[in-house]
Structure 1
Amino acid sequence: MESQESHRIVVTLAQKARDGADAQQLADFIVSSWQTIEASLSPIIGQRSVATLYKRSFYLASREHPWLMDMHEGMQTTVNLAALKAALLERTSAEIAAGAGAALQMFYEALTNLIGASLTERLMRSVWADLFPVPTQENSA
């Protein structure tokens, strides 16, 4: 079941692409988002757990976005953001928004399934608020 918070990720990235963000800008934003997520969650659930959820998120997202398949193969205990950025820069803004948005959404959903909605919301509240603001009526149309 898709949460309001995970839907907000997709809406925000799609809006950035519609507003003219190029591949470099979106790739930088996505990598920065993952850096923030990793920094926020690693002290709580551990670097290996964050990397495992990252890997699982890209595996699930690659079902609809096959170009993401390489992002979940071969990773062990760390998140490889350099490989992610390189893969993103080979795509259009729309592809980046859709694929990376799906992976971030899957991450949120996987974390929710693992630790529950309430704890996920508390752990991710400040991260999501900074990265993915609540869309206004004007932006969500």
Structure 2
Amino acid sequence: MKREAVTKALARRIGADADADARTVAQAFASTWQQIADPLEKVIGRRGVSVLLDRALHLAAKQHAWLLLPSDPAAEVGPLHGLIAALESQSVAEGTQASGLLFESFTELLDTLIGKSLTDRLLGAIWIAPTPASAKKDTYE
């Protein structure tokens, strides 16, 4: 279920454009990652999010060896910049598949750390397609 939701969410962000390129995939990954990292940093801190991303990268690299990025524990930005550059150097299909696996691994690790219920509350909306009703802005008169 989670894998399917992640795949669909990435496909929506990448778009149905036949001209989509690796940079589009990397941008979709980055924007999705930002939606994930922002609320999680409030719960487990920036370092906690970075450590989980490192572990998810390690797990995903079993299927996509190019995800084994050199790490710098002293770096404040973590592996994100290197990951985006690596995604930009892959094919659209490879980048999309690896991104999906990475997000899936990350959320499974998070499930283990803080529980599935809290993970779903924090990140569930990211994987769900917006409905026309939810896309409208509330107006207050």
TM over 0.5: yes
Q: Which one has the bigger helix percentage?
A: 1
Q: Which amino acid aligns with 1:111?
A: L
Instruction: Name the count of aligned residue pairs.
Output: 127
Query: Any residues of structure 2 matched to 1:68-107 within 5 Å, and which?
Result: 68-70=67-69, 73-75=71-73, 78-107=77-106
Q: 1:1-141 alignment to 2 at 5 Å?
A: 4-13=1-10, 16=14, 20=18, 21-70=20-69, 73-75=71-73, 78-129=77-128, 133=129
Percent sequence identity over aligned pairs: 34
Q: CA RMSD in A?
A: 2.3
Q: Is the alpha carbon distance of 1:26 and 1:113 closer, same or farther for their aligned partners in structure 2, counting shifts above 3 Å?
A: same
Counterparts of 1:63 and 1:105, CA distance in 2: 14
For structure 1, the residue ranges without an aligned partner over 5 or more in a row are 135-141
Inter-CA distance 17–99: structure 2 relative to 1 (3 Å threshold): farther
Higher alpha-carbon Rg: 2
Give a deviation string over 1:9-60, Cα, whole Å, max 9, x none. Answer: 1244357487532111111010111122111110111111100111111100
Letter aligned with residue 59 of structure 2: L
Cα 1:13–1:125, aligned 2, differ >3 Å: closer, same or farther? closer
Q: What are the superposed Cα offsets for residues 60-110 of structure 1, whole Å, 9 maximum, x if unpaired?
A: 000001010116x33455434321211111100001001111111100110
CA contact (8 A) 2:69 2:79 kept: no
Deviations 1:96-138 (A, max 9, x none): 0011111111001100111111111111123333xxx28xxxx
Amino acid at match of 1:89: E
